[in-house]
Structure formats: structure tokens, C-alpha cells
Structure 1
Amino acid sequence: MQSLKDRHVVVTGGTGALGSAVVKAFIEAGATCHIPAIEATPPTGHLPDSKQIEVVPSVDLSSEDSVDAFYAKLPPLHAVVNIAGGFAYAPIADSSVKVLQQQLSMNVVSCALSCRAAVANFRKGGPDGVKRGGHIVNIAARPALNPRQGANMTAYTASKAAVAAFTVALAEELKNDDISAIALAPSTIDTPANRKDMPTAKHDTWVKPTAIAELIVAHCSLSETINSGAVMPVYGKA
């Protein structure tokens, strides 16, 4: 294991319920987190008040120029965690092409562009020119591994399956660069929004954001990239 003290990490979606838990875990481990946010005035209420957190407004993760401009200002990175995305509960009869394109843009395009910029940062290395590799963690979803569970949310399921496949292909592409790429495939995450949307569900079976955060930080603390290419089920008791 390696220390994360004074390391720099990007967490997309870092102002959300899962993202803020991940940010908190990283800063407790000593890292500094850089969070791109699409809003001009990002909602930071979930985040701790810490000098180890930088929230950058008006970053559109579906725009190549916007993503590249965000990454161009960052120091050498240790890890990038791609949590930003979106969800659409829509059976195929109600899924216009706009729904499909939106899900692909929010979940696949944002992830791919962030990974692309992350790889460029990792390969550039530090001021001394030494390349130290890095870690990429993407967030897929359980239906990506079990598509039958994606009924009535087919566009979302397809986009998350694409994230999983993209991550495996990326890991193979980067296997000689000392850059790891994995994806987590959570079942329902125990967030206030999900509890509101599913008030009668068995909330105690859902995965806690803090548990996912611990897993991500542990992975990014590994000194070897032995699990690169893994798509890990994170189902809790579900």
C-alpha cells in the first residue's frame, strides 16, 4: 500500500451523495481532490469545509474542450474517479432517441473524455519528468453485469454496460503504462434521493456510499496494478 498524503485526485460527480463520500475518504487519507462541476455555482453542501478540496465550476464533462481545459490546469494526478452520470427510468416505448443520447452522453462520453485526459496527465509525469502511473476508477452499475435487471431502463443499462466494456478495453490498452483501470458495478446505493424514490424498498440491503468510498480509496492506495481490468460487483446484501 502507498500513502495518499499530498496526492492529487479528480472526482467527477464529487458534489453528489456518492461523490462527496468519496471526496471525504480521500481527504481523510491526505489527498487533495479536484472536482469538476457543470453548474456555475456548484452545490457544495455535501462537502467538508477543507483546503484539500477544489471545486471547479462550469465544466461540461460531455465537451472535449471543456474537459481538456479542466485537466490542463491540474498538477500531476495520482487517481481519477469517474462518478458523474445520470439515470433514466424509461421503458423502450417511452425512450425517444433523446433519452438514449442523453444517457450515452452523461454516462459514457463523460467517462471516456475524463479517462482520455487522465491518461495524458499520467503519461506526462511530474516536473521531474518521471512517469508514476495512476489509477482510474469508473462507476458502472449492476445491470451492466446482469442486463435482465435493466428492464424498463434500457437506455441507462446500455450506457452503463458500455462503461464496463470501455473500462476493460482501456485497462488492456494501458497495461504497459503502469496505469490501472477498474469499474465498480453497484446495486442500489443508499442515498437520500433513492430512499425518496423508493420509500418501501429494503434500504438496509442497499450499498452505503461510505463503503464504496472505502473500497475506492483502498484500490487507489495499491502500489501494484494487479486488478486492472476488473469490473467488480458491489451489491451489498441486495
Structure 2
Amino acid sequence: MLEYSGKIVAVTGGCGALGSAVIEAVLEKGGEAVRIDVLPLEKRQAIEGVRDYCIDLTDADQSRSQFEAIGRVDALFNIAGGFSFGPTVWETDDEAFEHMLSMNLRTMLNAVRGVMPEMIREGRGAIVNVGALGARSGAASMGAYIVSKSGVMRLTESLAEEVKEKGINVNAVLPGVIDTPANRAGMPDADPARWVAPADLAAVICFLGSEQARAMHGALIPVSGLG
């Protein structure tokens, strides 16, 4: 029996490189995928077994109403987010700081708010967030990004403690550099063979969202590739 048979899996950031790999993995395992992204619906290619929603997850009200329309979600994979180098901590303005918090932390929080009431009613569910291997400690010119991903990691741990007695698993992956077209373009001199392949990271995410990981709560799993 396929481990995702009969399961509805919501994937935020579902049109990106990692999100697409995760959706492909969910479909291969027999699940139904809900693809959530800010990309307009008319710009997406329809995929059998995938329901599409255009949601700005930085908008709490829009997120709430759209998740009500989605209905039951058995697993939520929070892939939406982003990265950018910044200036020094003291030169980072409020707009840049808030941008990183919105992309990485607020999107995750609004998605969790959208699915949690129904998961609690069902007495079962799984949430997998995406932290960052590099956010386990500080680094120059990455202050806002590290704060946002550190927030994801701490909220993962906190939420896991709050809902583990309700049959809900909350965990996170901590990837190193992911092999995406954007990263290849931004780091042309690097060796992408040492990075994390999206399909490999998707496999770990799908494991954490499966029944096989039901004993795991608040785990932060490093997925580093050879980096």
C-alpha cells in the first residue's frame, strides 16, 4: 500500500524547484497534492492529482479564507520562503528585515494557522517546515535571513510540544544549499554536485510527513549534501 494513499498534502511554495519536487514525490506515493503559491493560476501547468490555489501567505486574512476553501489537509509541507544576502546587521533597514521575516516566518505561521484547527478536530496530522543548516549560528551579512529561519526552527519545536498529545507531528528539515536554477545562476563557480538535490530533500520531507515518523516531534533534521 502506498504510504500517502488517501492523504491530502498541502505544499506551500509549490511552484518552485523544491516545491515541485515535493509534489512529484507526493504523487508518486499515491497522495493528492494541494499546490499553494503566489504564482497566478493561469501561469501554471495543470497536473493530474494536484489542486491549485493562489495564496499570498504573508496576508493572514487571505490565508485563513483560502485554507477554509481547501478543507481537510492531512499533511502540510511549508516550502515557501526565500534567501538573500544583506548588508551588516546595523545597516539592515526595517523593510529588508521585515521582508525576510514575511517570506520565511510569516508564510509558515499563516499556513499553520490555516490547517491546525481541522488537524486538531481530526486528531491526526503532520507538518514539515524548512529551516536552514546555516541558521544554527550567526553569519556575516545574513542576519535577517538567519533570524527568520531561526524563528522557523524555534516555532517548529514550540508547536511540536503544543500538539504532540493531539496526534500531530511537527518537524523541520535544515537543508544546506539546494541545487536550484537560481542558486546555479547566483553561484556559477560552485560545484552543484555538492549541494542538496531537490528530490533528495523531498524524500526526507515526505518521510517526516508519513506515518513512519509518527514518533518524531520537534526534530530538526540536517540535510547537507556534500557541502
Question: Aligned residues, how many?
Answer: 226
TM-score, L = length of structure 2: 0.93
SS at structure 2 position matched to 1:110? helix
User: Match of 2:84?
Assistant: 88
2:128–2:172 Cα contact (<8 Å) kept: yes
- The verdict on how the C-alpha distance between 1:84 and 1:43 changes in structure 2, with shifts beyond 3 A counting, is farther
Query: Which one-letter code corresponds to 2:115 in the other structure?
Result: A
User: Match of 1:35?
Assistant: 35
1:134–1:179 Cα contact (<8 Å) kept: yes
More helix by share: 2
2:2–2:30 Cα contact (<8 Å) kept: no
What is the correspondence of 1:98-137 to structure 2 with a 5 Å cutoff?
A: 98-125=95-122, 131=123, 133-137=124-128
Per-residue CA deviation, residues 71-100 of structure 1 (Å, 9 max, x unaligned), is: 101232210000101222112254211000
User: Match of 1:74?
Assistant: 70
> Please, which moves more after superposition, 94-103 or 178-187?
94-103
- The verdict on how the C-alpha distance between 1:8 and 1:29 changes in structure 2, with shifts beyond 3 A counting, is same
Tell me the percent identity: 33
User: Match of 1:11?
Assistant: 11
CA distance in 2, matches of 1:203, 1:94: 31
CA distance in 1, matches of 2:130, 2:180: 16
User: Match of 1:219?
Assistant: 208
1:8–1:75 Cα contact (<8 Å) kept: no
2:207–2:213 Cα contact (<8 Å) kept: no
Query: Which one-letter code corresponds to 2:49 in the other structure?
Result: Q
Per-residue CA deviation, residues 115-168 of structure 1 (Å, 9 max, x unaligned), is: 12221121232xxxxx3x110000011122132xx3211101110011000100
User: Match of 1:174?
Assistant: 163
CA distance in 1, matches of 2:83, 2:103: 9
**Unmatched runs of 5 consecutive residues or more in structure 1:** 126-130
**Unmatched runs of 5 consecutive residues or more in structure 2:** none
What is the correspondence of 1:159-238 to structure 2 with a 5 Å cutoff?
A: 159-223=148-212, 225-238=214-227
1:2–1:222 Cα contact (<8 Å) kept: no
CA distance in 2, matches of 1:43, 1:170: 34
Query: Which one-letter code corresponds to 1:34 in the other structure?
Result: V
Q: CA deviation at 1:37?
A: 2.0
- The verdict on how the C-alpha distance between 1:178 and 1:223 changes in structure 2, with shifts beyond 3 A counting, is farther
CA distance in 2, matches of 1:43, 1:227: 37
Query: Which one-letter code corresponds to 2:9 in the other structure?
Result: V
CA distance in 1, matches of 2:207, 2:147: 28
CA distance in 2, matches of 1:164, 1:43: 32
